[in-house]
Amino acid sequence: MTTAEKVEAPPAFTHRQILVILSGLMLGMLLAALDQTIVSTAIRTIADDLNGYSLQAWATTAYLITATLATPLYGKLSDMFGRKQFFMLAIAIFIVGSLLCTMAQSMYQLAAFRAVQGIGAGGLMSLALTILGDIVGPRERAKYQGYFLAVFGTSSVIGPVLGGVLAGQDTILGVSGWRWVFLVNVPIGLIALAVVYKVLKLPKRPHSTDRVDWWGVLVLAVGLVPLLIVAEQGREWGWGSGRSIVCYVIGVVGIIGFVLIEKALRDAALIPLRIFKNRTFSLGVVISFVVGAGMFGGISLLPQYLQVVRGASPTLAGLQMLPMVLGLMTGSVVSGQLISRTGRYRSFTIIGATMLTLGLFLLHYLTADSPLWLAMIFMACTGFGLGNLMQPLTLALQNALPPKDMGVSTAAATFFRQIGGTLGVAVFLSILFAQLTPNISDEMRGAAADPQFQHAVVEGAKSSNPADAALAKGLLAQDTSAAGNVLKDSSIIQQLSPALARPFKVGFAESMSMVFLSATGVALLALILVLFWREVPLRMVGGIQAANADAAAAKSDSADADGRVLDQAGLLLGGGEAVSPPSRDGGAGRATDGTGSA
């Protein structure tokens, strides 16, 4: 009898138990997903109220830095000491950070408190996916991960609407409206904390004797913080400015130092380098990085098109993104069900990368005159591609490494996707603003020869609309600064009359076209990489079940070894007859000869 035959598979979680645990995980993920979309809508109002409009980027940068740095640390610590306590810690830190943000009196304070929020957010997403990986095998997991994508999709619609509503109120129950953007996290977080404490019942994990790689955390911070800062601020500083070059140098030195430390610490490292020897995992991480750049860089600018070119409010723009969300959820549900039935996922990554590339390419055809329904079709195509790509990508990365590395593999995938997204947003914003001024200037010069535009300028100079009057007088005085002013405040476009606003909208649409075309190139690179990605059969059991099976197998092997020792002892003491140990069916041991007969 082989070891595999001797060891019974440990019991799996039932569907009902999984759904109960999933409710707690989804609430935790909702915190992070909803916070990002709410704040992005309300940040301008917040910055104006705190007299720090020019500093608003730091509130985002601080959150991004701490969330990115915390992600691999949560993964490693949860592998060493268990998931539940760190998931609850992440929720608690996020709640505290949200309360602090509510009390901020300046943009500097808000940036510091957003950094606290980020420390919690770094564990919410990666640990939720890790815990799901513990309780459900990769093949069945595809069905349940659709719920997580539903949370992201719902938050991307509800967040902008809720952020616009809250930020638009002067006060709510005596508290400034924008402060509720952060305060709303507190009751959701407390409910999530209670639900996770109640329903998340995981086997206790024996404490690891490995030391925590704090030096790795410190040096990683030295490497990443300057690079993330220059990614956010490089456009204003200048990519070749002295400050940017200093950030590049410190970042490269820090990353080299991090790699050397991780190499020296081996398995105790924050991100063990051995995991990259697995070709499936290492190529999957590269794909995740590239997809993050294309997804966040391209998709995050869609609301800009809807608001600036089409004149939608932040609230309405959130609702107009609904086709993308529906496409994402449809792609996720369909691929999840089919992966669960067939156990194959590679075809869905190819379909997803192809549809994402096609969707971004179609988006670059949008102009200032494109009908909304056409933009929605292109968004749905892009969302469907993401739904088919993101879920199999996460599954494959978790499946590529042994179950004992579940936390590290999930955190590493999330970490590199976040880095890719940050760089993607920075690069694509730079492309947008580099194109914006010359494109608007060209449109203004072209419009100057149009009699209708000339008439609108003359009428605008006499208009009671301050925006029309200021622009018209500037144009009549041949002031060319109008295009540059849009970079400081795009709301000027919505304040202009349609005739005067048209050159700005056309110039902005052409600039967005270049951004989407650039994102198409990134998505095409992801598609090429996916074509070279080898499929690994999906495991049928979750991480906990696999760990229990390994432990049972090890115990069985130990018992077999003890039996062989007794056999040898029987041969020596019994003059050539071996005394077998008691049989597993409870029967007494029998003396046997060398042929196995009694």
Q: Find how far residue 330's CA is from the centre of its chain.
A: 19
Residue 505 included in any domain: yes
Q: Are 436 and 508 in contact (CB under 8 A)?
A: yes
Residues 197 and 54 in one domain: yes
**Percentage of the chain exceeding pLDDT 70:** 80
Residues 175 and 83 in one domain: yes
How is residue 208 annotated by DSSP? P
CB contact at 8 A, 30 and 189: no
In single-letter form, the type of residue at position 487 comes to L
My answer on whether 465 and 582 are in the same domain is no
Whether pLDDT at 217 is above 80: yes
Among candidate residues 511, 537, 556, the one where a domain is terminated: 511
Predicted confidence at residue 336, as pLDDT, reads 82
Residue 235 to residue 245: CA distance in whole angstroms = 13
Number of independent structural domains in the chain = 3
Residue ending a domain, among 490, 511, 532, is 511
Q: Name the percent of the chain lying above pLDDT 90.
A: 17
Task: Identify the DSSP state of 580.
Answer: P
Q: Which of 490 and 387 is assigned the larger pLDDT?
A: 387
Q: Which of 163, 200, 3 is nearest to 89 (CA)?
A: 200
CA distances from 555 to 438, 561, 588 (A): 72, 10, 21
447 with 561, same domain: the answer is no
CB of 424 within 8 A of CB of 433?
no
Residues in the chain: 598
Angle between helices 346-363 and 498-531 (to 10 degrees): 160
pLDDT band per the 50, 70, 90 thresholds, residue 50: confident
- From residue 564, alpha-carbon distances to 7, 210, 296, 586, 592 in Å are 18, 33, 59, 18, 14
User: 537-572: b or e for each residue (b if 16 or more CB lie within 10 Å)?
Assistant: ebbebbbbbbbbbeebeeebeeeeeeeeeeeeebee
Identify which of 357, 374, 388 has the alpha carbon closest to the alpha carbon of residue 323: 374
Residue 441 CB neighbour total at 10 angstroms = 16
Last-in-domain residue among 460, 486, 511: 511
pLDDT at res. 516: 92
Q: C-alpha distances in angstroms, 489 versus 237, 330, 481, 565?
A: 18, 37, 13, 81
Domain membership of residue 87 as a residue range? 12-207
Say which residue, 463 or 54, is predicted with more confidence: 463
Instruction: For residue 529, give every residue at least 6 positions away whose Cβ sits within 8 Å of its Cβ, in sequence order, or none.
Output: 283, 286, 287, 290
- Choose between 62 and 100: higher pLDDT: 100
- 76-85, 201-210, 361-370, 433-442: segment of lowest average pLDDT: 201-210
Q: Cβ(471)–Cβ(500) under 8 Å? A: yes
For residue 509, give both structure tokens.
Answer: 């649409």
Q: Residue 543 has what pLDDT?
A: 64
Q: 588 or 368: whose pLDDT is higher?
A: 368
Closest Cα partner for 189 from 113, 104, 120? 120
pLDDT above 80 (res 499): no
Task: Say if residue 493 is in the same domain as residue 554.
Answer: no
Residue 77 within any structural domain of the chain: yes
Same domain, 477 and 557: no
